[in-house]
DNA sequence: CATTTTGTGTGATTTAAATCACACAAACAA
DNA sequence: TTGTTTGTGTGATTTAAATCACACAAAATG
């Protein structure tokens, strides 16, 4: 296994919980690496949600399709982000979402069982996951605020502020699917 | 301090992490009780967000006011729920939200410092908070899905399914503010 | 008790955004 | 390189929901 991949994970964890060499040797055995090509699906509706993914590189979208075949993007993910169909992953139900690769890269895969084992074995890892969840929870609440009371304009500006690099790398159409606004309305905002 | 209040907290924690008498004796010292009257504010915009609250009884709304003086409800809370202005609580910034009591009751108050101390001292408490955050994260993602792609009708039905008791206890106007739908539109849904 | 405040239904009107329908450009594939 | 798919702008039209404007009922208040 390429050591470089694991060093990236280690650095990421260290930002929250300091771990020593011995601990990391044990921790890293819980992950597997996967190379992903553009257009490839890491998850499709109906699949068993085996993993949560830690993004080493590339760009991905987590989305679902409603009754009228319309797509809605729940999450983008890029370097050092975590992604999965979380409602299904945590409750171990079949996927209701898709994960598609937009820009090729690599991810680390973690099963729920290994996640729980890491949390139970290492207080530090339980701490790490709690802090990540805390940040995630706050981010989702801010997104809900924007969906409840933000105009398309405000949503777009906030997106541009939070993810300036995604703005340049992904089609506007997908940003519209993330913001809950039609492609056309979004296009008319920045004239 | 009334023991009954603390037993309620203990039962709540036990559902996730088994703790013994000795541990709980230590844990409970981190909380304080507060009685809250109808109409009373536990938090107002601009306040320092000193606490997260564990609801022993009563009903509360967590809301904010946008530029046009319109109210939006981010969260309702009742028995055994936790509530705060989380973005501000976790980042220790001034409140952007209000918490108002709709039905009088009691809450337990926990400071961020005590929350972190509990998590650091007891692996079990760190586990407890992680599990609570996991559930909260999933709930918020499902709400985002509903805001992105749900019609007012679907949002209302989902609310009724999730919180049948709140349906009866709080005015429809407030449910509308939670769902991001006007009072009038909501009223026309269930004819 | 009377009276103010708060909640709720319902019609009429307005409005923002979705949808439909193009044209054209850029990226990708054969 | 040529055709095909994918992305993007922009006008015209439709539509769902917000807003405005009431009436009346229920609850809280003095």
DSSP A147-183: HHH--HHHHHHHHHHH-HHHHHHS-HHHHHHHHT--H
**What does the pLDDT average to over A126-152?**
97
**What is the reported pLDDT for A36?**
94
- Give the torsion sign (CA, A67, A69, A74, A79): positive
Q: Which residues of A touch B148 (CB under 8 A)?
A: 72, 74, 147, 180
CA of A39 to C1' of D3 (A): 22
**CA-CA-CA-CA dihedral for B35, B55, B126, B118, to nearest 10:** 0
Asked if residue A81 has pLDDT above 60, the reply is yes
For residues A78 and B1, which has the higher predicted lDDT (pLDDT)?
Answer: A78
Verify if strand D has an atom below 7 Å from the CB of A187.
yes
Alpha helices by DSSP H, B81-179:
86-91, 112-121, 123-149, 152-162, 164-169, 172-179
CA of A38 to C1' of D13 (A): 38
Strand (E) or helix (H) holding A59: strand A59-65
Q: Which residues of B touch A99 (CB under 8 A)?
A: none
CB contact under 8 A, B119 and A140: no
Rounded to whole angstroms, how far apart are CA atoms B191 and B186? 10
Do B141 and A140 touch, CB atoms closer than 8 A? yes
Residues of chain B with pLDDT under 50: none
Query: First CA to last CA across chain A, in angstroms?
Result: 49
Asked if residue A12 has pLDDT above 90, the reply is yes
Enumerate residues 6+ apart whose C-beta is below 8 A from A66: A72, B149
Strand (E) or helix (H) holding A50: none
**What is the reported pLDDT for A46?**
95
pLDDT confidence of A28, banded at 50, 70, 90?
very high
Rounded to whole angstroms, how far apart are CA atoms B59 and B83? 11
Interface test with B, best of A93, A129, A134, A181 (most B CBs within 10 A): A134
**What is the reported pLDDT for A5?**
82
CB contact under 8 A, A141 and B86: yes
pLDDT in tens, A145-174: 999 999 999 999 999 999 999 999 999 999
pLDDT confidence of A103, banded at 50, 70, 90?
very high
Rounded to whole angstroms, how far apart are CA atoms B183 and A69? 29
Structural Rg of chain A based on CA atoms: 18
**What is the reported pLDDT for B1?**
55
Cα A41 to the center of its chain, rounded Å: 14
Min Cα distance A144 → chain B (Å) is 6
Interface test with B, best of A63, A75, A132, A141 (most B CBs within 10 A): A141
Which nucleotide's C1' sits nearest to the alpha carbon of A179? C17
pLDDT in tens, A57-70: 999 999 999 888 89
Identity of the residue in A74, A90, A119 whose CB atom sits nearest the CB atom of B127: A119
Using a 7 A cutoff on CB, list residues near strand C.
Answer: A 151-152, 180-182, 184-185; B 171-174, 183-184, 187-188, 191
pLDDT confidence of A17, banded at 50, 70, 90?
very high
Rounded to whole angstroms, how far apart are CA atoms B148 and A64? 11
CB contact under 8 A, B119 and A129: no
Asked if residue A1 has pLDDT above 60, the reply is no
Q: Which residues of B touch A118 (CB under 8 A)?
A: none
**What is the reported pLDDT for A67?**
83
**What does the pLDDT average to over A99-115?**
96
DSSP A191: -
Structural Rg of chain B based on CA atoms: 18
B152-162 and B123-149 helices cross at what angle (nearest 10)? 150
Tokens of A169: 């790398």
CA of A78 to C1' of C30 (A): 32
CB contact under 8 A, A130 and B143: no
């Amino acid at each position: 296994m390429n050591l470089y991949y694991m060093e990236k994970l280690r650095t990421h964890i260290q930002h929250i919980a300091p771990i020593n060499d011995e601990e990391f040797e044990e921790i890293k055995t819980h992950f597997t690496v996967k190379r992903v090509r553009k257009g490839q699906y890491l998850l499709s509706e109906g699949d068993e949600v085996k993993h949560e993914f830690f993004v080493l590189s590339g760009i991905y979208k987590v989305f679902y399709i409603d009754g009228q075949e319309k797509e809605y993007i729940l999450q983008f993910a890029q370097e050092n982000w975590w992604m999965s169909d979380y409602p299904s992953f945590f409750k171990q139900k079949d996927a209701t979402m898709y994960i598609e690769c937009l820009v090729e890269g690599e991810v680390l895969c973690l099963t729920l069982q290994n996640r729980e084992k890491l949390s139970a074995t290492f207080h530090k890892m339980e701490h790490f996951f709690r802090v990540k969840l805390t940040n995630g929870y706050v981010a989702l609440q801010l997104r809900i605020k924007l969906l409840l009371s933000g105009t398309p304009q405000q949503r777009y500006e906030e997106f541009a502020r939070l993810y300036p690099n995604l703005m340049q790398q992904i089609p506007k159409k997908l940003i519209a699917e993330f913001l809950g606004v039609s492609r056309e309305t979004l296009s008319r905002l920045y004239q």
